[in-house]
Chains A and B, each alone.
Chain A
Amino acid sequence: MLINDEMIDYISELARLKLRDDERESAKNEINKIIDYMDTLNQLDTSEIEAMSHAFPVKNVFRKDEVMPSKDRDDILLNAPDKKDGAFKVPKTFE
């Protein structure tokens, strides 16, 4: 079993998720089943194949470096759960 308790805690932390005990147990079981299934890819020899991120060639898209108005600050803050002085408000992060 690739996804043991330690691994499920590690990936929860990476994912910024805190699972309840019952969720954790079921996540572990389901994810193990899914990862096992994903391992079927190993039956396919891809040693000569280049990895492909996009189905069509994607190239850098450039534009002129022109000064343009950005989105309005008040608009961007419209949906913020908490805000102060034109900024998102979060709990204290530095002592």
Chain B
Amino acid sequence: MDLSKLSALEAGKLIKNREIGVAEITKAALENIEKTDKNYNAFITVCADEAMKRAEAVQKGIDDGTYTSPLAGVPMAVKDNMCTKGILTTAASKILTGFKPFYNSTAVQKLEDAGAVLLGKLNMDEFAMGSTTETSFYGPTVNPWGENRVPGGSSGGSAVAVATDEAYYTLGSDTGGSIRQPASFCGVTGIKPTYGTVSRYGLLAYASSLDQIGPVGKNVEDVAEVLSIISGHDKKDSTSVNQEPLKFNLQNNVKGKKIGIPAEYFSKGLEKDVKDRVLEAAKKLESMGAIVEEFNMPEIDYAIPAYYIIACAEASSNLSRYDGVKYGFRTPEFEDLTDLYNKTRSDGFGIEVKRRIMIGAFVLSSGYYDAYYKKALKVKAVIKNAFDRAFEKYDAILSPAAPTTALKMGENLSDPLKMYLGDIYTVSVNLAGLPSIVIPCGFDKEGLPVGLQITGKAFSENNIMNIAYSFQQETDYHTKKPVLKVSKEA
């Protein structure tokens, strides 16, 4: 049996039934990474020794009844912008060279409390700023579905590690689509929960009012199980919503569900194959009993500029903490304190991060604050109101996750504005704080995966998960796997 092909819940069941030991499955996962990851670079850090030690401790915990979660003992991996105690955490930036946090982010801690085994830390765009995982200081991650294709971003490593079966599930973070767009490009399932559902404590902040942690997995059941573990109130995050961890009761039933499709999303700039697959998925849901309708949401055109103003503004503030004093990299030569700051930050940050910090500094600067930052906050309200109106009529909104399938490497790297425009389907969801799941819904003519995005009103995770689950019960796109390039064993 090839263990790596199992879903997270299937693996958890084998462990629970004592058909396989935690050390055995962890060792197999580490060997698989060793063979596979040279070609894909999904991992920045593989913590093999810690994982094997941890596997033994978890096995004991399962044997003595400490760990009862259906995912206890299942090996997983985490995006490298979440703090992991004693394990390198870089946000894929040179400026955090050598940074080993002395505490766990809440999401990671909750998984550890449920008996998870951490395999390592996953590649990403530097500080989650990018849509291709090419801005990583540790080199780009490669999409396993095509020659020379990006995995999307910023959680490219999180999506690829699942697509290549290197990890049973992963955590990503989503500020403007960073879980959903890579899930779409890599043919996996990923959800951005409602803002405030998962604690952001220990997540290296990019844009705090938009950032949200979420799981990536092989199917909706796995993702639902992970989300039920990591959700719930945390007093260490003041924007964490005061609610119990989510519980899911997944049912294959979409009868009578009202699903809206924004006409604006399908009018321009969308690849034909993506459009066709998403509309076919809508038809499929219709055949299963859902009521699908087109509606208008013209405000959506303003989401990208509003998003980039707000995200850059918050980034310029959040990233001021990287100053060469408290953690990570410090430039070796400097004249005085200001020079230390300037040189450390100029050497330590990559070009896209610098660009966003500077845009943020500009839109917050005296004389431009009202025209840009405040204007964007008003547009955010306009977009939130547009979604509120839509959800008076619909249970969910259906759309693509990205206008294209996986891009060629390098295609957008030199043209940031073009890269930003690719975020058209995802950023509005973050501005409005909504939950949104992406699942595979077919392939383009080159065999690259297409994703279907299902967005619901705030705190309706159960509803969108059920629609996604129902779709996966009636289709098999999520079970398709790329042919992997595997290095010969050493």
Contacts and interface: CB of A to CB of B under 8 A. Distances in A.
Interface in B341-390: 341-343, 345-346, 349, 351, 354-355, 357-363, 365, 372, 374-382, 384
Given A27-B355, A40-B305, A18 B342 contact: yes
Chief secondary structure at chain A's binding surface: loop
Interface string A12-31: 10111111100100110011
A40 B100 contact: no
A12 B349 CA distance: 13
A11 B354 contact: no
Given A17-B342, A17-B357, A81-B325, A49 B378 contact: yes
Given A44-B379, A55-B432, A63 B235 contact: yes
Contacts of B290: none
A42 B359 CA distance: 18
B324 interface: yes
A70 interface: no
B14 interface: no
B420 interface: yes
Contacts of A79: 98-101, 326-328
B2 interface: no
A51 B381 contact: yes
Contact of A78 (B102, B304, B361, B377): B102
Interface stretch (B135-143, B159-167, B329-337): B329-337
A61 interface: yes
Given A27-B354, A46-B379, A91 B337 contact: yes
A67 interface: no
Contacts of B375: 41-42, 46
Given A41-B306, A46-B379, A90-B340, A11 B361 contact: yes
Contacts of A52: 377-378, 380-381, 384
A81 to B, nearest CB: 4
Contacts of A90: 325, 337, 340
Nearest to B362: A11
B309 interface: yes
Q: Which of A41, A54, A75 has the most C-beta atoms of chain B within 10 angstroms of its own C-beta?
A: A41
B458 interface: yes
B358 A31 contact: yes
B471 interface: no
B417 A33 contact: yes
Top-4 shortest CB links A-B: A55-B433, A81-B330, A51-B377, A79-B327
